[in-house]
Chains A and B, each alone.
Chain A
Amino acid sequence: ETGVTQTPRHLVMGMTNKKSLKCEQHLGHNAMYWYKQSAKKPLELMFVYSLEERVENNSVPSRFSPECPNSSHLFLHLHTLQPEDSALYLCASSQVGAASGANVLTFGAGSRLTVL
């Protein structure tokens, strides 16, 4: 496995379900991110884990809960979601403090979530 892998690629869930999205990076990066991508809208940063620190977008509802057990794995736990949460959820990783100065994100292919 190389790069950033996300599972599942597709998920359909009811509003009362609990599910989790998983992300794994094989790049040795020290930061991982969750983004939400909705059609024709800008990418929305949800959560960042970098160097043991968690940074979050305060506008993200509490029905989304991240977990980062180590620098290679990232989860997004979902519960009691709403239909408007249907979107593509992208995981990314980067090397913060890289010599190039550019914090280049490497993205996974995403998990397409549909909430019924």
Chain B
Amino acid sequence: GQNIDQPTEMTATEGAIVQINCTYQTSGFNGLFWYQQHAGEAPTFLSYNVLDGLEEKGRFSSFLSRSKGYSYLLLKELQMKDSASYLCAVVEGNYQLIWGAGTKLIIKP
């Protein structure tokens, strides 16, 4: 079957580093997205990986291993504004995205 797994909730300290994992089992794979969603707001695009390896964008990096069905989002120098839900989604076809349930990240001072 199709499945995306990510932790329900994580807690980290301001200024630290946190890694949010996402494992997937899907019938097809055309790329993997990470989105950020603050409470009561729209999800916003963070990253897209289609090839294996690490993509870095400022304080955020995303890694993909297609052979292992695994991705992670790495957040460095955490700020209070990074408190949000982080959604992992695998692209199966033209329109079909398989979404994880999201990881709620809580940042403490």
Determine, out of B11-19, B59-67, B69-77, B97-105, the stretch whose residues face the partner at the interface. Answer: B97-105
B66 to chain A, nearest CB (A): 16
The size bracket of the interface on B is: 20 to 34
A82 at the interface (CB under 8 A from B): no
Whether A4 lies near B42 (C-beta < 8 A) is yes
When the two chains form the complex, which single residue of B45, B50, B95, B98 contacts A101, counting CB atoms closer than 8 Å? B50
Whether B101 lies near A42 (C-beta < 8 A) is yes
Whether B99 lies near A102 (C-beta < 8 A) is no
State A62–B74 Cα separation when bound (angstroms).
Answer: 41
A12 to chain B, nearest CB (A): 17
Whether B41 lies near A103 (C-beta < 8 A) is no
The size bracket of the interface on A is: 20 to 34
Contacts of B94 in A (CB 8 A): 50, 96, 103
Main secondary structure of the interface of A (DSSP, over half): loop
A45 at the interface (CB under 8 A from B): yes
**In chain A, what residue has the closest Cβ to B4?**
A42
Q: Which residues of B contact A (CB under 8 A)?
A: 4, 8, 31, 33, 35, 40-45, 48, 50, 87, 89, 91, 94-102
23 residue pairs from A and B, CB less than 8 Å apart: A31-B95, A40-B8, A40-B102, A41-B101, A42-B98, A43-B43, A43-B89, A45-B95, A45-B97, A50-B94, A50-B95, A101-B50, A102-B31, A102-B33, A102-B48, A103-B94, A104-B33, A104-B48, A105-B97, A107-B42, A107-B43, A109-B40, A109-B41
Q: Which residues of A contact B (CB under 8 A)?
A: 4, 31, 33, 40-43, 45, 48, 50, 55, 90, 96, 101-110
